Amino acid sequence: MLNFFKKNKQAWEPDRLPRHIAIIMDGNGRWAAKRALPRTAGHAAGAETFRRVATYCKDIGIEYLTVYAFSTENWKRPQSEVGSIMQLLEKYLIEALEKMERDKVKMKFLGDVSVLSPKLRALISETESLSEKFDGVQVNICLNYGGRDEILRAATHYALDYKDGTAPQKLDEETFSKYMYSSGLPDPDLIIRPSGEMRSSNFLLWQSAYSEFYFTDVLWPDFSATELDRAIIAYQTRERRYGGIKK
């Protein structure tokens, strides 16, 4: 996995890597359609790409990787496709649990997992529990997640705490952020969307206020370490001013 990095280590600056990269894993269905394969084959290929990219992020020193695995809107898809995605996730988590001691990768799930199957919820709980003892890269998987849903949930929870007298009377960004699924995580520095689409699709709406976006026509199953390097290089050419002016 590091061969490309070793050959092109001057392509991007190691001391200016984004701390947190987020990816909208898009294009699995189109990848499969181009090959006259069922959409489930695209999701399986996309899952393998996720493994490779997560490993590469760990190897080059990215602290946080957040991926959009299943949105609150994805339930509208055919039941067979949704079932296939959930089976792939179960398979991935079972394999991840077997390798976590070796890989030392922390995993966290963002989203409403209460509606998932008991087996999947148990795997998620076991994965997050085991992750607590690791200090390496943290991979966040957005599952049954939607940015608007997250904001509404946070507002509701704050209102309930305010009513009970357990929340600060003055609401500011720092306080509100603590009610988000992403509480404790830094905002993403770089958000990548493969597949040619150029929209955020309800992903990390609160957290992406000042994120840099990178779009590419490459479909997610074809995304590689080379593509990630291109995104990082593009990120490093930008000046982040957070609403200020160039000095």
Q: How far apart are CA 206 and CA 148, in angstroms?
A: 9
For 67, list phi and psi in degrees, rounded to 5. -125, 145
**Neighbouring residues of 132: CB distance < 8 A, sequence distance ≥ 6:** 106
At 224, the amino acid letter reads S
Q: Where are the alpha helices (DSSP H) in 61-146?
A: 79-103, 118-131
Q: Where are the alpha helices (DSSP H) in 70-210?
A: 79-103, 118-131, 147-164, 173-177
Check if the beta carbon of residue 200 is closer than 8 Å to that of residue 212.
no
Enter the tokens of residue 72: 């609150």
Active-site residue list: 26, 74
Q: Return the closest-CA partner of residue 180 out of 143, 217, 205, 202.
A: 205
Enter the tokens of residue 144: 């049954």
Q: How many CA atoms lie within 13 A of 241 on its CB side?
A: 6
What is the Cα 100 distance to its own chain's centre? 18
Enter the tokens of residue 223: 């995304």
Check if the beta carbon of residue 24 is closer than 8 Å to that of residue 205.
no
For 133, list phi and psi in degrees, rounded to 5. -90, 0
